[in-house]
Structure 1
Amino acid sequence: MDHIAVIGAGQAGATLVETLRKRGYDGRLTLWGSEDVLPYQRPPLSKAYLLGEMERTRLHLRPRTFYDDHDVELRLGTPITALDTGTRTLMHRGGSDTFDAAILATGSTPNALPDRCTGGLLGTHVIRTLADIDALRPQMTPGRRMLVVGGGYIGLEAAAVARKIGLDVVLVELNVRLLNRVACKPTADWFRALHRDHGVDIREGVGLDTLLGDGRIEAARLTDGTEIAVDIVIAGIGAHPETALAEAAGLTLDNGIAVDARGRTSAPGIWAAGDCASFPVGNGRVRLESVPNAIDMAEVVARNVLGGTEAYVPRPWFWSDQYDVKLQIAGLNAGFDDIVVRDGDGRSHWYYNGDRLLAVDAMNDPRAYMVGKRLIEAGRSPAKSAVADGATPIKSLM
């Protein structure tokens, strides 16, 4: 292959070009990104970087010299506008470019509040890109009033940072409870108590109706009819896979860009990896939005583009930092029918389907997380009674 084009300069895109070179590809290699900035870490954006505890350059996954030394053409600030799968041509604002293989690593895009809610007022933010945080950070000053819309991990992390800075925070979640789609009730209860202990006004079963103000946000009317004074609004209402380019190119979509176990899309020579891609697991399909998935899947796809036949088998794990709590999650909890609570060094919640262990949420309990992760990867399930007994040494569960 004379030219491999990687479209998307996030974690997956950066991992793809690095792996391709590491695996011996010596042809032309281009990395196309919509943002005019080197590939960077996203998790610190809403934490250390927002707090001013991390310099911008420390966000970079690699310095520019790395790409120069490995002969990677960086085409940053140059979004791909169209993809012709027949002629294998990329179109962009400056013209076009042909390729032998293209890998889509377009990531995901945060869901915005509907226009009927915002009324075009200034002061609404999402948390995804460096530009998003650079726009938000000057607004985060002590004493200001923030409304967080959405009680998922992004919303909870934003609330934690805002309280640490000294803002007054109201968080609304339209579902019956926090973390309704992603975690069990005991985990939601644990984090609700944590945030209320830190002064967050949490309102569940309540959403945003409309924002009020003259040019800028001054107040918010909630779905229960109450009005609250507000200066800043954070939309933490999930994200969707960035598939516009793939859809226009006629690629098959299924909760993202549908790929087979090797990362191949429905068009020959076109691959996908990371947040934007859904892949087969068991009898269904899964799409994961996480740094570990972006890295692991990108490495497998890069090897397969160069002739490998490896099936991608995810080893899901996630994390979230809130106040002085590190939540670590191993596995996927879909299909659980029982929760086992363990009080050990910290608190952990173990998800079971019947007698089979599916996932673990560990709050300030890294040993429970590590043991749970190893058990899940090995396909082993400890007895629920042993897990529930905090006096049972965690390592004995292995």
Structure 2
Amino acid sequence: MIFLLLLGVPCGLAHLYLWKRLVRDTTRSGRGRTLGTVAVVVMFLVLLGGLVGSRALGPDVAAVLAWPGYLWLAMVLYLTLLLLVLEVPRAVLNRRLRPVRTPAEVTVPAGPEEPVADDVAPAPEPAGGEPADPGRRLFIARSLAVAGGVVATGVVGYGVTQAMGGPVVKRVPIALGKLAPAFDGFRIAVVSDIHLGPLLGRSHTERVVNTINGLRPDLVAIVGDLVDGTVEELGEAAAPLRDLVSPHGSFFVTGNHEHFSGAQPWLAELTRLGVHPLRNELLAVTRGGAAFDLAGVNDVTGRSYGDGPDMEKALERHDTSTPVVLLAHQPVQAVQAAKLGVDLQLSGHTHGGQMWPFNYAVTLQQPVVSGLAEVDGMPVYVSNGAGFWGPPVRVGAPPDVTLVELRTA
């Protein structure tokens, strides 16, 4: 119910606005307006069905509802933004027209006493603030509605190709001051937010695994939000993770969606697949007689489930003469990590904003939205994620798999 209120109320208000601009303003009263009103109500219900179905119904039913529901959610976003921008030209074009003053009608004087007629007084403007030509208002409303619809469809269509396409491969070198020469060039494949669920299944996992294996990493880090569903629903979709290949293994930390989906069964399933969960713990990665520490902490959402992060516990065995790389789902955890002397944090969660302009909203909650940055002097790398949540649309934030290459300073 809270979820529906947080998203359903704004969507309801957006649909009301769209009804005014796309139905009321573009139709005359009658059958056309009735049909348009019914269409807006139906699409709002379809959107709610997609939101509820992805969480409350079985995967088959959820997939049927999710495609139209989530695609329409993306359309609502961009239609609303575009029509709001078009309010300015709408106001200009619909401004009240001043009637044109006609030239004076001049009569030939019959005698010296007859005056020449003065200018004809302007015709009175229509009462009630209506434009001089109601048909002009209708034409403008329809033209702007069509323009907004065409552009929104193009943006969403492009976003679908980005979201459903293969992840972009990024290579990011990061220098660590205490890194031993034996680890210079050590490669960590970072992937987050795969989001297996109603719209992404086994073929998506296979594509991600093939991309990672093609990079020939030394270690694989999956930093949360692997799934949106239970092991029973999505176990087969996650199965290709067993094919990940790296000399130093594959590791996982929980994201918020694991806790929504049942974290404990998934941790057991990932262990069975050869992906090792790091749950507020640390291990030493060794090569050529040298070592660095790899730590992982639970997601902050786990606090509501009695399974929250404990960074002090994770770092209690850390040898401060060597660097420590922390896996933490949310970038906001970097604030505490920097205080505890972590050398590098690898995160996800933000999706890079997923759909512009949400990247600006993410900055209100997270210190880093995408890519490599610093938090209190500590480098933090944030992946855009390899999947998506909600609409199968990405605009300005393509999915990615990143190869972090550790370098000596």
TM range (shorter): under 0.3
Larger radius of gyration: 2
Query: TM-score, normalized by length of structure 1?
Result: 0.22
Structure ranking higher in strand proportion = 1
Per the normalisation by structure 2, the TM-score is 0.22
